[in-house]
Chains A and B, each alone.
Chain A
Amino acid sequence: MQISKQKKIEMLRSLLLSRKFEEELTELCKIERKIPGMMILCTGQEAVGAGVCAALQPKDVIVTNHRSHSHLLAKGADPKTLMAEIFGKRTGCNKGKSGTLHMAVPEVNALCTTTVVGGGPPIAVGIAFAQQYRQGKWATVCFIGDGAANEGSFHEALNLASVWALPVIFVCENNLYAGAQRYEEHTKSPNIADRAGGYAMPGVVVDGNDALAVYRSALDARTRAVAGDGPTLIEYKTYRWRGHGENDLQIYQPKEEIAAWQAMCPIPKLRGDMLAQGLISKDELREMENRIDAIVQNAISFAEESPYPEPPEALEDVFA
């Protein structure tokens, strides 16, 4: 499959934006009282969000989880309102009710984000059901981690999605750790995707650090979904560079392992290929990086300068 220059540029931009966004967050969250709550980063895993979302149409829906920054940015969420939400500000995409963990951006069809591990798949099934019910040619992507595959809700959702041939793509971002537990300690089967056979749906294992491979596999699954052929389980093998959260000391992650995966960073891979093929020049690349820099700095300023919500605003938005 030929991937257009424009798609590749879109993915590279998405990778760089997410990386820059999180590099800033890595520093900002060290400052006392700057950012409330936890800081959960997807640094090193950005190719999954970038590649999958590049394969989607604006009306396609994503359901994501606590490690969502790259998914939301790749789906087109505004970095300013994301950053303000992470800061707990009123101008945040969810008015400070969510914080960094459960940001939902309905404007770009990032309809639900849940931090309950395994919470996403049943909801994605419901959204895909609505897509099927309305006979639209749209699909839903559900981003989960390897940990979520051991929740009972994963089983119920995949089974129902398959029985009803729903247009949903279960994207398992296997970053080798569920909390502090290494993959081999929580799952005997070498691949999460092997479970797909039990639901009579395709299960695909893909290099999650190769944005182009991610894009191709997601596009295949989307084509299948909107054709009415049902769900797909795709497992992207990748790696969690940071801890579960930024306060995680990572005593259980061998340094050599982290270094080995960092050497397989998704950014130089795509950037190098594109430079080599003349799809982008060094100048254009520098210009792209500068623009992304400005976007992220602008987002931080916006968040810093925005007001906190007034305490009684806590009482709003419970009921419609």
Chain B
Amino acid sequence: MYSLKRKYSNERNKSMRSFGMGQAINQALREEMLRDPDVFLAGEGIGVGIHSSPMLPTAGLLKDFGAGRVKDTPVSEAAIAGLAVGAAVAGLRPVVEIMFNPFFTLASDMIVNHAAKLRYLSGGKSSFPLVVRMKSGAGFGAGCQHSHNLEAWAAHCPGLKVIMPSTPADAKGLLKSAIRDPNPIVFIEDMMLYFVPGPVPEEEYLIPIGQADIKRQGADVTVVTWSKMVGVALKAAEQIAREGIEMEIVDLRTLVPLDKRTLIDSVRKTGRLVVLHEATRTGGFAGEVAAVVMEEAFDSLKAQLRRVTGPDIPVPASPPLERFYIPSEENLILAVKEIVL
């Protein structure tokens, strides 16, 4: 197992290369397809798409693995997700793509009622080793039917594991673990991160599902976050450090199963909690994180906790409106100061 913390702190390590999350995912898919002939990909435009860039997750895979294993599908999300459910129970390792997170609704019967429940209904006789990749995240002006973070919906369905990585290295190691996991997994990728380079180890590694990662150590306040918001938190931490406030940033990486240990330990250390996510507030996963802390570490809290989230509105399209929607460094710093000062 690779120690990524060590890697992050050693920028000059020769065995690292830098690229975005899209390419990291591409590497994970490629490596797992080479390792296991039962792994196949399916989705809309994953072979021949309307966009073509080496920065995208499935770039070049059709050419290298052929149309038998990289299946462009009709625009049929229910069939794509059902394909994964059926192929998985029959012994294959499907990795399917739902183009955008809001289209989860079209695939959701297959994911929620079938992928998540059929093992339980079988009394543990059947397994559904499948990965549903979904692209998500606001910031590209497409509006609310293409940008809607629904991780809390998936996390609310027993039987699904939910992964939402923040860095290229995490995305690669977690996706490889996800493909090898015997359970259905919802893997949500923030598209803006496709274009944010980060160090990725060259040699093979896995990152276990269900392990949070402390992306920054700090003594004064715990910021629990995931996906794109980890970057926002890191920038805010640099700013606020100049004022003498040290944030500890806990990147959950996996929402289900939730690494309560790391979360609780951090809050016990700092005594303060802010949960940050891009998804809307009401019913968001911040509520779950807050409840876990209240139940298990209430006595260590020195101040009330804070949530920094998108407001309870659909994601608007116009740039100033969209910027207003996405939680910013300023929003986070404000919340931190409210409970630290």
Give residues in A with beta carbon < 8 Å to B: 61, 63, 92-98, 102, 104, 106, 111-114, 116, 119, 121-131, 133-134, 140, 152-153, 156-157, 159-160, 163-164, 316-320
Contact = CB atoms under 8 A, between A and B. Distances in A.
Contacts of A63: 86
Contacts of A125: 79, 82-83, 86
A112 B79 contact: no
B85 interface: yes
Interface of B: 40, 68, 71, 73-74, 76-79, 81-92, 94, 109-110, 113-114, 118-127, 129, 158-159, 161, 182-183
B126 A112 contact: yes
Contacts of B88: 126
A38 B290 CA distance: 39
B210 to A, nearest CB: 11
A126 B121 contact: no
A111 B121 CA distance: 11
Contact of B85 (A98, A126, A131): A126
Contacts of B125: 93-94, 104, 106
B90 A126 contact: yes
Given A111-B89, A126-B82, A319 B159 contact: yes
B62 to A, nearest CB: 16
B223 to A, nearest CB: 29
Contacts of A102: 118, 121
SS of A interface (majority): mixed
Contacts of A133: 40, 68, 87, 92
B46 to A, nearest CB: 15
A152 B87 contact: no
A97 B125 CA distance: 11
Nearest to A154: B78
Contact of A156 (B78, B92, B94): B78
Contact of B123 (A96, A111, A126, A140): A96
Contacts of B40: 133
Contacts of A128: 86
A104 B114 contact: no
A318 B79 contact: no
Contact of A61 (B90, B118, B122): B90
A125 to B, nearest CB: 6
Report the 8 A-B pairs with minimum CB-CB distance, sorted nearest first: A126-B86, A122-B82, A95-B123, A130-B90, A317-B124, A94-B123, A320-B182, A156-B79
A288 to B, nearest CB: 31
Contacts of A320: 119, 124, 127, 129, 182-183
B178 to A, nearest CB: 13
A129 B76 CA distance: 15
A123 B114 contact: yes
Contact of B114 (A106, A114, A140, A319): A114
17 contacts: A97-B122, A114-B113, A119-B109, A125-B82, A126-B85, A127-B90, A130-B92, A133-B40, A133-B87, A153-B79, A156-B74, A163-B74, A317-B123, A318-B119, A319-B119, A319-B159, A320-B182
